[in-house]
Structure 1
Amino acid sequence: MKTSRSGLGARAGHDLVIEAAEWTGTAVVGPDGSARVHVEVNAGSLTIRDALGGLKPMTSSDRKMTEKNMVKVLQPGKYPMITFVADSTGQTGDAVTAPGALTLVGNTQPLTVSGTVSSSGRLRASATVTQSRWGITPFSAFFGALRLADDVAVEVDAELVPAR
């Protein structure tokens, strides 16, 4: 996931690259080539992998405070899993789309994931999650002068392997 910043104080903040350490995903392909997709992400496993930009590098104290804010927003104790489910997919050449539903902090909203599947079976896909659609107020500081942008870019890079 990639966040960006906005507001008058945007230069002071950091664009974050957030990684899910614990997640699973399945795609069951039907006879027509369409797939049912189910992805689960452990909301408590999200960590900051990188912090880009800003007037100064992100300190360990800043990182701890930001991860604490993520826990406050995502409430993994109450909503341990973030899920995406698509009942079918569409494919044209190597381009694939998966219109489905994302459940985040207990709210489910439609979301379409788009990407490509290489001939070697590598999936690269992305979607934009607009936090406010799921009832999340983007983080802000300094009386709103520094804000997390409402849109979060979610990217997937995974190898597709046949079920055993």
Structure 2
Amino acid sequence: MTDTSWTLTAAEGELQIFTGVGGPAAKMGHRLTITFASWQAQVQWRGDEPVAARLVVDVDSLQVVRGEGGVTPLTGPEKGVVRSNALKSLDAKKFPQISFDTESISPTTGGYRLAGSVTIHGTTRPQSVDLAVEEHDGMWVMSTEVAVVQTEFGVKPYSLFVGTLKVADEVTLRFTARHPR
């Protein structure tokens, strides 16, 4: 059996976060789409089976792509304010990276289950991820979507107007990537 490894980056895929809005004034807020421009996933293979994976995300590469809903459209300058607030909530200077490390990888129908731990804001918690894998035109297309509760990692969701408008505690993380088979 031959051991090989893959390295995936933002050039091969996308790592996005989708937020909701909470509080009595929720209709005033925007549901955000956030992306990270700098991340790296390493996958170790033994023969035809993945045996380990590690994802590292550079928090300060966070970019606000769009905001849906709200009273008015989200403007460019407002995206900058949202980015700044998100980096403060994540305490990006003290905790510059988010990581996910597998402890086991097992085949599932249509992909793999990655069980391991995720570290956000200096807090590490167990996490399982079901990664869908499909083959298209000689490429493996991988995707997953997982809910993350910010307060479980010590992250206080951003709020305005004494908490009457706030980012929902649960956000959705979506990962997609392509790699030659």
Q: Calculate the TM-score normalised by the size of structure 1.
A: 0.91
- Secondary structure at the residue paired with 2:42? strand
Given the alignment, which residue of 81, 84, 88 partners 2:100?
84
> C-alpha separation between the residues in 2 aligned to 1:93 and 1:114?
10
- Secondary structure at the residue paired with 1:41? strand
Q: Which residue of 2 aligns with 1:3?
A: 19
* 1:34 CA displacement: 4.3
* 1:73 CA displacement: 1.4
* 1:11 CA displacement: 0.8
Shift in alpha-carbon separation, 1:75–1:161, aligned structure 2, 3 A: farther
**Aligned partner letter, 1:78:** K
Moved more, 53-62 or 128-137: 53-62
RMSD: 1.6
Q: Which residue of 1 aligns with 2:160?
A: 141
Q: Which residue of 2 aligns with 1:129?
A: 148
Q: Which residue of 1 aligns with 2:46?
A: 30
Higher strand share: 2
Q: Which residue of 2 aligns with 1:106?
A: 122
Moved more, 111-120 or 14-23: 111-120
- Secondary structure at the residue paired with 2:142? strand
Q: Which residue of 2 aligns with 1:74?
A: 90
Q: Which residue of 1 aligns with 2:78?
A: 62
1:117 aligns with 2:133: yes
Are the counterparts in 1 of residues 43 and 50 from structure 2 also a CA contact under 8 Å? Answer: no
User: 1:41-67: per-residue Cα shift (whole Å, max 9, x none)?
Assistant: 101001101111111101233212111
Q: Which residue of 2 aligns with 1:49?
A: 65
Q: Which residue of 1 aligns with 2:177?
A: 158
Are the counterparts in 2 of residues 111 and 127 from structure 1 also a CA contact under 8 Å? Answer: no
User: 1:108-143: per-residue Cα shift (whole Å, max 9, x none)?
Assistant: 111121231002311011211100110111111112
Are the counterparts in 2 of residues 34 and 88 from structure 1 also a CA contact under 8 Å? Answer: no
Q: Which runs of 5+ in 2 are unaligned?
A: 1-16
- Secondary structure at the residue paired with 1:11? helix
Are the counterparts in 1 of residues 86 and 158 from structure 2 also a CA contact under 8 Å? Answer: no
Q: Which runs of 5+ in 1 are unaligned?
A: none
Provide the aligned length of Structure 1 versus Structure 2.
162
Q: Calculate the TM-score normalised by the size of structure 2.
A: 0.83
Are the counterparts in 2 of residues 36 and 88 from structure 1 also a CA contact under 8 Å? Answer: yes
* 1:102 CA displacement: 0.8
> C-alpha separation between the residues in 1 aligned to 2:97 and 2:49?
28
**Aligned partner letter, 2:55:** V
* 1:95 CA displacement: 3.1
> C-alpha separation between the residues in 2 aligned to 1:130 and 1:59?
27
